[in-house]
Structure 1
Amino acid sequence: MKVKKLISVLLAAGMIATVAAGCGSSGGEGGGGAKTLRIGDNWGASHPMAAALDNVFKTQIEEQTNGELTVEVYHDGLLGDEANLWQSVRDGSVDFVVVGTPMNQEFSEMLISDWPFLYRDLEHAKAVWTGEVADEVTADFNEFFTEVELLSWGPNSARTFSSSKPLTCVEDFAGQKFRMPNNPIHIGIVEDLGASAQVIGLGELFTALETGTVDGQDNGMVTIVDQSFQEVQSYLYETNHIIATLEIIANKTTMDSLTEEQQQIVRDAAKAAAVQAWDDYIASIDEDRQIIEDAGVTVTQLTDEEREKMIAAIQPTIDTLLEENADWAPDLIAQIDAVQ
């Protein structure tokens, strides 16, 4: 864990220096006539969405434009945390970003990405966010935000709870302290379950768990493995209470600077990357669970009975969401439920 963090810091120093040297010339022509495009995310390179940027998005764009476009990918928050990435793609200082939903307070329809217990399983979520529902929400998003263009929807993860204290049923949440992202849905869920929430950045979370500042946290198993949380947690409750998305978003001025053919290549590459990321993520679940169990963590999967108990417990948060988003949420939820 410590070695990995040190390597990330050393890489960051060199890569940020490179970015700084190119500030103000993003999307400009290189010496050989190639246009360099930059994309940033907040994940380790092994995350399926990050890996798809390297293996699909970058590769497909460079190959299909015969090198006229080159793509530089920056992982691990090297271009900023999620809030900074969202601002950077809006103001054009970064060409593309992969973020979750930092914009959901402006555009409430993005709350759907964090809606609890929305899907039957991961395959259902993939079908939703690579199909017609995704196209409809994308159109709404791109009409609302004129300075950016949403290109595709990939997987963040199916969120699970972990703790240093016993966590094998809904009743075990009572009195525990959980780190939660700064998102009212996530905070509402954990408080409905009888626990308390503390907002801590992902980069500080390992230390917070190690020192007992909080008992536990909620993230996908892919993130738990990537961040080595299994080293400082004893229990994992595989609730899959939220199956969240990550979106590839482009700066509109950058897209407008490309030829129509190049724009289509970029859009196709973004969709292909999202599909690959969904497939890789779904395939990684069993492996990630095994890594966590091998570290000595007790993993408990949510039974149908416990699922119903958890949904009943968090009903106040669900009711608030429905009441505050009555203009779009019921219809969109019905559409999602109908996806096969």
Structure 2
Amino acid sequence: MSPELSFAGLSVLLARVHPHTVATVHALLDDGARVTVASRPEALPTSLRDLAERGLVALDAQADPTAFDVVLRGDPSARPAPAGTEAPGTRTVGSVTLLGGGLGDPSLITVAGIEAIRVADVIVHDRLAPLSALRHARDDVEVVDVGKIPRGEFTPQERINELLVEHALAGRNVLRFKGGDNFVFGRGGEEAEACTARGIPVAVIPGISSSIAAPALAGIPVTHRTLVQGFTVVSAHVPPGDPRSTLDWGAIARSRTTVVVLMGVATLGAVAATLVGEGLAPSTPAAFVADAGLPSMRTVRAPLSQIDAVARAAGLGAPAVVVIGDVAALDVLA
């Protein structure tokens, strides 16, 4: 999308799905457009299907183009590569860059991150990366969607590692593009190890972790000199008591720190009950921040014992970050 154009408030139909459609859709949503994709769900890449399932994009395989303000039909990836661009495969061994994209707002990506997008031969991305930033990519870039939908379709981590290695060994400059930070519950460590074990050079461009950025955008400082002197970040993709959980929830409850829960939408009820059982007061403030950094961002606050029910009643779901502790009652931006 050209930066000179604005689609705010317009209805836009994407008549075809192509490698750059994900970036285009995210850019349109960032601009305030109402987006429809002329496709069936099963024909979409994971990241676009996720937007549709979250109600951010409409799908209509039989859409009437005359009913829309704007119809986009072209495939920018079909244009020739810029003059002087190195052909893939001409290097003996390529490289892998792990880029943390922060939250959904593409303006939060670092300058180094934008430059990495511009020079990449291959971009392997997740669904929560700020994908409108892919508009900075070369027209001939190969885009690989390996997004994981909660309790739905996903690409196994082992296969993602293989993709990075295969493309880099073919001489390509590979960008692994994720939301948040690759090294904070992003499996960046596993991916780096898989590449270095094959002699592939790896670079890291840190991103803003959702564990601090989502609360910040909601007006919640995870530390506050008069309230709390630290914060604890945990993953709750498995509930307390599950054999796969290695967390000491009793120690977390007694830590007197702000507790930030990632990947805990499905297990939040169990997490809250366990923390209360381990000594946290049921009235402890909690906040549920959904879609942080996106136009659809919403925040609800409630006592710890009620936060799961309140979030569900509000229709909130993943992606979300939960903040537990005295700071969760604050909104310093109000």
After TM superposition, the score normalised by the length of structure 1 is 0.30
Indicate the structure (1 or 2) with the bigger Cα radius of gyration.
2
Where relative contact order (Cα < 8 A, 6+ residues apart) is larger, the structure is 1
Higher helix proportion, which one? 1
After TM superposition, the score normalised by the length of structure 2 is 0.30
